[in-house]
Amino acid sequence: MRKELIFLIVTVLLLAADLYAFQAVKTSLRDSSDNAKRIGYIIFWSFTFITVATILSNFIYSVRDWPNGLRSIVFSIIALAFLGKLFIIVFLIIDDFQRFIRWIASMVSAPADGGPTNISRAKFLSQTGIVVATVPLIAGMWGIFKGAHDYTIHRIKITLPNLPDAFNGLKIVQLSDIHAGSFPSANPLKLAVDMVNKENADLLFFTGDLVNNITEEVLPYVSVFGQMNAKMGKYSVFGNHDYGDYVGWDSKEAKLQNIENLKKAHGDMGWRLLWDEHVYLEKDGQRIALIGVQNCSGTKSFHTYGDLDKAYKGCEAPVKLLLSHDPTFWDAKIRDFEDIDITFAGHTHGAQFGIEWGKVRWSPAQYIYKQWAGLYQKGKQYIYVNRGFGYLGFPGRIGILPEITVMTLVKE
């Protein structure tokens, strides 16, 4: 009975808000053709139908059991539509306030005939509200159905004077933050795999967050990601989401087993998971070092699992590369290791929203992270922050597109 009452109350409130917002639609289409009115009304009320149907279905069949991709898409569309209607309501309130003031004025100075005063709703404010509401809705829908899988290659060249001759021209592909549980199917992933393989890279680096929460999310895609090729090997580390910290577990043992299962998934994809350790990459009798740490953070917002001291200990090579998920760890500790030449990170997603147009770069992520996307340098050390391959929360990207990094190392 309680569920039914909650559903009834929520539905009544939503319908009341929609009926109020609908006044702007009616006013804006007042002088339009019958077909235009019909189309406008159908578009408006279709979002109401989706919202009410989703709420109702949650009582019949829990949305928690929906596929992750479908669930996030539906709820994002509902949220975008609701946000748009809030914008409309704000403009309607402004209009109604003006109408109220004009009505008060008409009471003070009544019409000569003494008849009732009819103060119509302002068409301009209604249309403005609809336009303002439509912008985030269209942008959000574009981000979901186009931007989410619009994989973009960012090419970077870094000069390392100490780079051994055998590694001059070394090509590295970096991926980060796949968040496999957010994908509705493997279809978009196959395109990305083809893009990676066309680069004919020497190395493939993955810098964490393979899943949102649990290993089962990536299992349908293991064979797809396993098709990525790199001549000298594929290496990976864990990110903060890979430990299952954001989901409830029946026991500590169950959580630890999930971690072991995810380790195995890395291996099944042909990825050499680096667990607070280093390895040497050798070519023509020369070598460089690759260090990998578990997730480490320079803030208290995320757990630190890794041990850079352990991973670094005994590492001797003219060039050292590091895989470390969270870029805040660079300033917090990595820069103390002055001979770590390049750190590969991810984590920020570039907030999945922003502007990158020529030299203009902006994202809300820059107010949280000093290094939020792209290449940064301090002294002789570099960090590259990948914008992320997948998405989390909002199932799309607006302005900050999913990234495939292609980095080439040269001696001079």
Domain end (from 120, 145, 170): 145
Amino acid at 394: F
**301 and 244 part of one domain:** yes
The CA distance from 256 to 237, in Å, is 17
Q: Which residues partner with 383 through β-bridges?
A: 343, 376
Each residue's pLDDT tens digit, 163-187: 999 999 999 999 999 999 999 888 8
End position of a domain, from candidates 145, 170, 189: 145
Is residue 287 domain-shared with residue 169, that is, in the same domain? yes
In this structure, the answer to whether residues 68 and 213 fall within a common structural domain is no
Task: Give the domain range for residue 261.
Answer: 152-410
Can you give the length of the chain in residues? 412
- 141 and 161 assigned to the same domain: no
CB atoms within 10 A of CB 146: 13
Q: 306 and 207: one domain?
A: yes
Query: What SS3 class is residue 66?
Result: coil
- Which amino acid, one-letter code, is at 117? T
344-390: pLDDT as tens digits: 999 999 999 999 988 899 999 999 999 999 999 999 999 999 999 99
- 255 and 305: one domain? yes
If you compute the radius of gyration of the chain from its CA atoms, what whole number of angstroms results?
Answer: 27
Let me know whether 368 and 242 are in one domain: yes
Are 282 and 352 part of one and the same domain? Answer: yes
pLDDT higher than threshold 90 for residue 6 = no
Same domain, 163 and 73: no
Is the domain of 135 the same as that of 254?
no
What are the start-end ranges of the H helices in 170-248?
A: 187-198, 222-225
Residue % of the chain over a pLDDT of 70:
92
Task: Choose the final residue of a domain: 95, 123, 145.
Answer: 145
Strands 272-273 and 234-237: parallel
Clarify whether residues 186 and 109 are in a common domain: no
Same domain, 111 and 187: no
Contacts (Cβ under 8 Å, ≥6 apart) of 120 = none
- Residue 392's CATH number: 3.60.21.10
Q: How many domains does the chain have?
A: 2
Structure tokens at 271: 């990825």
Q: Rounded CA gap, 8 and 56, in Å?
A: 10
Residues 6+ apart with CB under 8 A from 168: 409, 410, 411
